[in-house]
Amino acid sequence: MFILSEDSKRTQGRDAQSSNIMAGKAVSEAVRTTLGPRGMDKMLVDSSGNVVITNDGATILNEMDIEHPAAQMIVEVAESQEDEVGDGTTTASVLSGTLLAEAEDLIEQDVHATTIVEGYHEAARIALEAIDEQVLSVEVDDELLVQVAESSMTGKGTGGLTPEVLAETVVEAVRHVDSDEGVARDNIEVHTQVGASSSATELVSGIIIDEEPAHDEMPTVVEDASIGILDVELGVRTGEVDAEYSIDSMDQLTAALDHEEAELRQYAQDVIDSGVDVLFTTDSVDDRVASLLASEGILTFDDISNKKARKVANATGARRVGALEDLTEEEFGHADRVRSEAYGDDELAFVEGGAAAEAVTVFVRGGTDHVADELERAIGDALDVASTALESGEVVPGAGATEIAIADHVRSAAAGIEGRKQLAVTAFADAMDIIPRTLAGNTGQDPIDSLVDLRAAHEAEGRAGLITDGETVTIDDPVEYGVVDPADVKREAVESATEAATMIVRIDDVIAAE
């Protein structure tokens, strides 16, 4: 009896498990060399010839255009890590692949997949306990936030600028949106602009949009500005149906033109009478109206998108209006300053201060598109981890120290677990060692020797990580060197990697339609 169509392909049992595990391991291995402060970059070229150079795990996996369904689960791990805490994507991906490799060894020893899954979940619970024990009893102040942000950016492309300088900008941005209600991460934006070195990166108290004034004679700077937002076309009205008008004399043509001119002047006068200083419209503004507004010193930006209009409204407190007569002072927003600046062929509008001060923008500069894009990714991750650390108030040692502590704690707890599940718990502990081993390998050290030394230092001192300054590698307390990570990054990596690995291990039948 044939149940499946002739075009379907089915893989069962060990073959299905082996195929899925192999795919997951391959994806994990692809990003492994990017981990840590001495990690390498990947160059990704798509079918159109577009190039991305990065060592950000989530970006690499997204750009790889992975089709294998099991491998796609590892991509989802990275995406989940990125969405939840903003960093640790490579750690989560590498850990997922190593858990799969350990599971494969257990399957070959005839340990049932269900036993492995149960053991992994038990080990994950123990690992989370170990992370809780590693949380530092310190106040998350600006100095510590700088360390968190700097640890996140170390090893990523920062255009030659030291991570410490950028970290200070990141912390300033995060503190700006911190309140009793929490950290409003959505109020921090990152805007990149090519054309200067990364040292020109700055924090703008307000928002930046890619727009140019509607007329060349408009002012480029307006101080203490009242902001209006219109969803109205400031031009000659046209009918929705095709129509023809018959003009029999020059007087009729003149009258028509005069009426048109009067209509446009009335639009301009209505805007002028409203008292607005800066006008944003989602529709077009006739050149003659723009010229009249320019003569009155009203800075106008037309044809802006709905997204940009919402952005201006949220930043300034202005309310969008759908009729010109509704453009009144009660609907205005406010900013300390609005300015328009040219950067090469691009023009940007800066809306700063006042009501706009609730939003901040990290204005990222870079000499090339690749530098600016990678710097944007690095700063974005740093903003996320600094926000996470400030929200939770919990940080743990970095540089592989927390992973060594997790592995030690899980390995010790495994001795008290009965049955074959103990093998899976021990395998989980061995998998955790992949992070310090990879860090050691990426810094040019022997992974095995470094792991042995790390374990010995952890037993003796209680905290040990791999510290590198770019030339030498030291095994020491990472906290003394300011290498710390948010605890939530470690928790999310353990949980998401465990979920992905156990889901893949449980699959013993793959049915694919050709």
* One domain, residues 348 and 400: no
Instruction: Please provide the average confidence, as pLDDT, over all residues in the chain.
Output: 82
Distances (CA, A) of 188 to 20, 183, 334, 358, 386: 40, 10, 19, 9, 12
Answer yes or no: is 374 within a domain: no
Q: Is the pLDDT of residue 315 over 80?
A: yes
Catalytic annotation, pick one of 381, 433, 485, 488: 381
Q: What is the pLDDT of residues 82-124, one digit of tens each?
A: 788 877 888 888 888 899 888 888 888 888 888 988 999 999 9
pLDDT tens digits along 493-511: 899 889 888 888 887 666 5
pLDDT higher for 382 or 180?
A: 382
Give the tens place of pLDDT for each residue, 412-441: 888 888 888 899 999 999 999 888 888 888
**Catalytic residue (choose from 33, 34, 59, 89):** 89
Q: Are both 329 and 401 inside the same structural domain?
A: no
Q: State yes or no: pLDDT of 185 exceeds 70.
A: yes
212 and 127 assigned to the same domain: no
pTM over 0.85: no
Asked if residue 234 and residue 105 are part of one domain, the reply reads no
Looking at the fold, whether 298 and 426 belong to one and the same domain comes out as no
Mean pLDDT of 451-468: 85
Same domain, 210 and 332: yes
Q: Is 381 a catalytic residue?
A: yes
The answer on 442 and 332 residing in a single domain is no
| Region 190-210 average pLDDT | 84
- Domain ends where: 352, 369, 387? 352
Q: What is the DSSP string of 159-188?
A: TT--HHHHHHHHHHHHHHTEETTEE-GGGE
Instruction: Inform me whether the pLDDT recorded for 513 exceeds 60.
Output: no
* Amino acid 223: pLDDT: 92
Is 293 part of any domain?
Answer: yes
Are 346 and 407 members of one domain? no
Last residue of a domain, one of 352, 379, 404: 352
Residue-range definition of the domain harbouring residue 302: 206-240+247-352
CATH number reported for the structural domain that contains residue 295 in this entry: 3.50.7.10
- Which residue out of 33, 34, 54, 56 is catalytically annotated? 56
Question: Is 124 domain-assigned?
Answer: yes
What b/e sequence results for 198-217 when a residue is b if at least 16 CB atoms lie within 10 Å of its CB, and e otherwise?
A: beebeebbbbbbebbbbbee
Residue 278, pLDDT above cutoff 90: yes
- To the query of whether residue 388 is one of the catalytic residues in this protein, the response is no
**pLDDT value at 5 more than 70:** no
Reported confidence tier of residue 157, pLDDT bands at 50, 70, 90 = low
* Better pLDDT: 55 or 414: 414
Query: How far lies 444's CA from each of 324, 348, 473, in Å?
Result: 67, 44, 9
- Whether 372 is in a domain gets the answer no
Whether 431 and 346 share a structural domain = no
Residue 444 lies in a domain: yes
Indicate whether 78 and 213 sit together in one domain. no
Domain count along the chain = 2
Q: Is 158 tagged catalytic?
A: no
pLDDT of residue 229: 92
- Does residue 168 sit within a domain? no
User: Do residues 165 and 317 touch, judged by C-beta distance below 8 A?
Assistant: no
Short-list 268, 134, 274, CA closest to 214: 268
In a domain, 357, yes or no: no
User: pLDDT tens digits, residue range 115-151?
Assistant: 988 999 999 999 999 999 988 888 888 888 888 888 8
Mean pLDDT value across residues 432-456: 87
CATH assignment at residue 73? 1.10.560.10
Structural domain ending residue among the three candidates 352, 378, 405: 352
Q: Catalytic: which of 90, 158, 438, 502?
A: 90
Whether residue 388 lies inside any domain: the answer is no
Instruction: Give the pLDDT confidence score for residue 2 in this predicted structure.
Output: 47
89 catalytically annotated: yes
User: Which band of pLDDT confidence, cut at 50, 70 and 90, is reported for residue 248?
Assistant: low
pLDDT exceeds cutoff 60 at 370: yes
* 52, 121: one domain: yes
Residue 104 shares a structural domain with residue 231: no
